[in-house]
Amino acid sequence: MAGIKVINENCGQEIFDQFNEICPFGAFTFENNKMEVTAACKMCKLCLKKGPEGYVELEEDEKEEIDKSKYRGVTVYVDHVEGKIHPVTLELIGKAKELASVIDHPVYALFIGHNIGEKAKELLHYGVDKVFVYDDARLAHFSIEPYTNAFEDFIRKENPSSILVGATNVGRSLAPRVAARFRTGLTADCTILEMKENTDLVQIRPAFGGNIMAQIVTENNRPQFCTVRYKIFSAPERSEEAKGEIVNMALEEKRFASAIEVLEIIKKEKGFDISEADVIVAVGRGVKSEKDLPMVQEFADAIGAKMACTRPNIENGWFDPRLQIGLSGRTVKPKLIIAVGVSGSVQFAAGMQNSEYIVAINNDKNASIFNIAHCGIVGDLYEVIPELMEEIRNNKNVNETLESEAV
């Protein structure tokens, strides 16, 4: 098993003290004038980087290198409800085309369901080379076991190199189960995807509470899995001409078996989804009291915007959780977003940084939100918002006067 190995046990107290000071987990012991590494080691490798040379080394497991040339294609799982394709699928197809162009691979779509033939043909208008279709009445409703079996069957037959799945309720349930069957990696909620020329998929996402952007690569396993939220990437333009091929797939009879039987589908009433808003006013910690929200709401109403918020305002109980923007909330991509009193944490930024135009209002000129804003206003929101409202009222009065004079 891989681990840190002491190669010079008789190092002396002084050397041990140096390693002991470096190790944050207290994994080194020194008994009978011999230094050892205990099970407390977390493989942070600080001892290798900062410790005296010639005393420890990294002992790695021997790995059998896989033949990456046997895996070909960037696949997008088609997320849908009763054949109605979720928009995240089209966004992932756009990204898959970009990634596949780097390594000259085809773009595949995997469609599992019932009566989905016409919808599958529609995907050919978006640049998919092949759509693999599992169409059966027993797949009409999502059921984790047969859907996982169909997904596995596709991978074993086609050997795709990378697989992109939308981070929907279905995608988040399905992707880890399929990845586990192939003992391969899965990176959730990626915000950036890049492709190396050796077909390694670089998966980038915020980690450790948003304090760093982690780059994750599955170097010696295939296929590579990742999930991506809605509104992270852009969907390609629909072409008039359909290009590509529909491939009908068959699943063994026994693989339709499931311990779950769908008796009835009860559709809940769909409320407004902040992800679909074209104009958003998002409030953060800068709003001191719930009593001050009507002031911002008036401004949002005046410009035809929807109100949203950051996580602290959800914790305060000021907003419906469905109005939170960020990695633990919704991802948005409006034409205009105005961040009012928002500091701009990595988690919040990851949920809105692809907006077409970002305006930030904050009294801290060093706030992180200004790093991604297209336009910034440094000032107290309790002064800026009323001034903006005054400008809006004045312009409205001028327009009404001009209209009346024109009549």
Q: pLDDT digit string (tens) for 27-74?
A: 999 988 888 999 889 888 899 999 888 888 888 766 678 999 999 999
Which residue bears the tokens 């978006």?
126
Closest CA to 80 of 155, 144, 158, 169: 169
The token duo for 181 is: 């069957």
pLDDT band at residue 399 using 50, 70 and 90 as cut-offs: low
Query: 262-288: per-residue pLDDT in tens?
Result: 888 888 777 778 988 999 999 999 999
Cα separation, 248 vs 150, whole angstroms: 12
Burial 58-89 (b: 16+ CB within 10 A, else e): eeeeeeeeeeeeebbbbbbbbbbeebebbebb
AA identity, residue 166: G
AA identity, residue 139: L
Query: 313-360: per-residue pLDDT in tens?
Result: 999 999 999 999 998 889 999 999 999 999 998 889 988 988 999 999
Which residue bears the tokens 């000259």?
104
Same domain, 141 and 230: yes
pLDDT band at residue 397 using 50, 70 and 90 as cut-offs: low
Cα separation, 384 vs 290, whole angstroms: 18
Same domain, 168 and 229: yes
| Mean pLDDT of the 79-105 span | 95
| Backbone φ and ψ of 132, nearest 5° | -95, 120
Same domain, 294 and 149: no
Same domain, 223 and 121: yes
- Does 228 map to a domain? yes
Tell me what pLDDT residue 401 has. Answer: 55
Tell me what pLDDT residue 400 has. Answer: 54
- Does 341 map to a domain? yes
Starting at the edge strand found earlier in the chain, the sheet holding 192-195 runs 192-195, 201-207, 212-217
Handedness of CA 259, 80, 335, 124 (dihedral sign): positive
Same domain, 279 and 370: yes
Same domain, 53 and 70: no
Single out the residue in 16, 41, 58 at which a domain terminates: 58
Cα separation, 326 vs 345, whole angstroms: 9
* Residues tagged in the binding site annotation: 285, 310-311, 324-328, 362
Domain hosting 29: range is: 1-58
Mean pLDDT, all residues of the chain: 91
pTM, two decimal places: 0.79
Cα separation, 97 vs 132, whole angstroms: 17
Query: 157-200: per-residue pLDDT in tens?
Result: 999 999 999 999 999 999 999 999 999 999 999 999 999 999 99
- Does 263 map to a domain? no
The pLDDT of residue 155 is above 60:
yes
Write the CA distances from 394 to 274, 304, 377, 397, integer angstroms.
30, 17, 20, 5
* Residues tagged in the binding site annotation for FAD: 285, 310-311, 324-328, 362
Same domain, 83 and 225: yes
pLDDT band at residue 1 using 50, 70 and 90 as cut-offs: low
CB-based contacts of 268: which residues, under 8 Å, 6+ apart?
Answer: none
Same domain, 232 and 373: no
The pLDDT of residue 387 is above 60:
yes
- Does 399 map to a domain? no
- Does 284 map to a domain? yes
Return the axis-axis angle of helices 381-406 and 293-302, rounded to nearest 10°: 30
Cα separation, 338 vs 318, whole angstroms: 19
